Amino acid sequence: MARLALLSVSDKTGLIEFARQLVHEFEFDLISSGGTAAALKDAGLRVTKVSDYTGSPEILGGRVKTLHPRIHGGILARRDLVEDVADLEAQQIRPIDLVVVNLYPFEQTIAQPNVTLAEAIEQIDIGGPAMLRAAAKNFAHLTVLCNPAQYDRYLQALRQNQGEVSLEFRQAAALKAFQHTGAYDRAIARYLEQQTGSEELPATFTLAGQQLQALRYGENPHQPAAWYQTGAVASGWAAAEKLQGKELSYNNLVDLEAARRIITEFADPQSPPAAAILKHTNPCGAALGTTIAEAYQKAFEADSVSAFGGIVALNREIDAATATELTKTFLECVVAPGCNSDAQEILAAKSKVRVLLLPTLNEGPSHTVKAIAGGFLVQTADDVIANPSDWQVVTENQPTPAQLEELLFAWKICKHVKSNAIVITRDRATLGVGAGQMNRVGSVKIALEQAGEKAQGAILASDGFFPFDDSVRTAAAAGIGAVVQPGGSLRDQESIQAANELGIVMVLTGIRHFLH
């Protein structure tokens, strides 16, 4: 008797040619349902509809098609068990040797703008996951395929083994099926969690992804690494267009994400052109300008030494003037929402520089995850939008409008510097950055040393409160005119008193931005 293949797919990529090979080269009989059966029939292939095979019509508008003993009996039967074989014979059920199923496009549906809950619910597949799980469970006796990319490998396996498929192949295919249904269920759960509108983290937090590519290595050459995409629809860096350059590395992607988070602070269409240059996830220069070329020049001049080999993020399309400046030094990566043709031609002279276009620079993950021994930590993303109207001026001296704008700029940049973080700015450009020191005074000294004489009249931002007044006195001695910090220390009054004594402005935001 000919072998029996069940085909029921939403993604019909490669389906017809695959089915032809099954029928003509390996003499399979085909059963199928709904649109898959229609597509096979239109291609001139002989196919039996599931409803004809089971003797039960499709009901509930197609919601119930394959949930039938003749289908699941044929999938789940153990061919080496006498009782199972007897049941098949008694019920006149043919064993199914191949199950080819992929699921309703749930994630593609919810990715569409303005999709309703009812529309999303209708794209929750029921029969498909049931068949995949049943076939995967019984991999000892049949093969399950859930992705068109598997079709050629399956046909090659048949050809290489006289029409049979090895147990190792079937087990590997079963694993992919369980991974597929697991990811599908997680996507549905995430979507329904989002619909609740609750700000609380769920009792069960799942994380899964499909490998996009193996990376050369991780942070260091001895660490294997890979890049995974969450969701069936490419988004974020997986959706970025790479205009040129070498393959992205693990460290490139980590730095690019840090750069994206900084430039998101200036994603508002009313925001001036902005540029940020990063090294090891910390900004070595960030600035606003009247043009994107000016913003980049100011960011570069903030620390031209550290900018060498840096990652650049821009909130405007790359134009010819900016491209010319970008090619004057060695850079690892440049990311922007766009790049005009003149700029592309200029950048091509530096063919190894990775240039990426990501129009959705302001769209990032809603949660951050860190692995720890025995588990992982999850928190909501630090995407609080700074609002100076909520700030409190605690000194006798009040900030001028110009100082308030500068304080806001410095605060936005400081948020993205490793704690203990100190940022010194003037004219909407960083002058000095103190990052990741074990004490705040150390960060202050590093930032002031980098700023040098330019610190006169500049702004200082601190991601955390000052536990002592020593940082305030050090800043004032270097000429700092105003300080923005979250407040919240038991010794706040000592810092405020020092600021009043030294004649500088101090503003408390009430929000802390530690970045570990």
Task: Read off the CATH number of the domain in which 440 is found.
Answer: 3.40.140.20
On whether both 248 and 131 belong to a single domain, the answer is: no
Domain containing 334 equals: 238-357
- How much is the pLDDT for 1? 67
464: in domain: yes
Q: Distance between CA 367 and CA 24 in Å, rounded? A: 51
- How much is the pLDDT for 307? 96
- How much is the pLDDT for 355? 97
On whether both 24 and 104 belong to a single domain, the answer is: yes
Residue finishing a domain among 135, 164, 196: 196
63: in domain: yes
488: in domain: yes
Query: Are the beta carbons of 464 and 444 closer than 8 angstroms?
Result: no
Based on the residue annotation, tell me whether 298 is a catalytic residue of this protein: no
220: in domain: no
- How much is the pLDDT for 458? 97
On whether both 172 and 302 belong to a single domain, the answer is: no
On whether both 396 and 346 belong to a single domain, the answer is: no
- How much is the pLDDT for 222? 97
On whether both 493 and 353 belong to a single domain, the answer is: no
Query: Are the beta carbons of 507 and 480 closer than 8 angstroms?
Result: no
Based on the residue annotation, tell me whether 137 is a catalytic residue of this protein: yes
Full-model pTM? 0.80
- How much is the pLDDT for 261? 96
State the catalytic residue, choosing from 12, 242, 246, 280: 280
Domain containing 60 — which CATH number?
Answer: 3.40.50.1380
463: in domain: yes
- CA distance readout (Å), 22 to 30, 45, 425: 9, 11, 68
On whether both 35 and 151 belong to a single domain, the answer is: yes
Residue finishing a domain among 357, 376, 410: 357
The CB density around residue 213, as the number of other CB atoms within 10 Å, is 11
On whether both 123 and 46 belong to a single domain, the answer is: yes
On whether both 408 and 487 belong to a single domain, the answer is: yes
Omega cis (within 30) before 362: no
The CB density around residue 17, as the number of other CB atoms within 10 Å, is 12
303: in domain: yes
- How much is the pLDDT for 417? 97
- How much is the pLDDT for 195? 81
Residue finishing a domain among 136, 165, 196: 196
State the catalytic residue, choosing from 137, 176, 242, 246: 137
- How much is the pLDDT for 254? 97
Instruction: Give the residues of the chain that fall short of pLDDT 70.
Output: 1, 62, 64-65, 197-199, 232
The CB density around residue 171, as the number of other CB atoms within 10 Å, is 13
On whether both 397 and 486 belong to a single domain, the answer is: yes
Number of domains forming the structure of the chain: 3
Tokens of 376: 């992982």
Q: Which backbone phi and psi does 384 adopt, to 5 degrees? A: -65, 130
Query: Are the beta carbons of 416 and 384 closer than 8 angstroms?
Result: no
- CA distance readout (Å), 105 to 10, 187, 232: 7, 11, 9
Query: Are the beta carbons of 36 and 8 closer than 8 angstroms?
Result: yes
On whether both 140 and 288 belong to a single domain, the answer is: no
Residues 6+ apart with CB under 8 A from 14: 148, 151
On whether both 341 and 447 belong to a single domain, the answer is: no
211: in domain: no
On whether both 346 and 394 belong to a single domain, the answer is: no
206: in domain: no
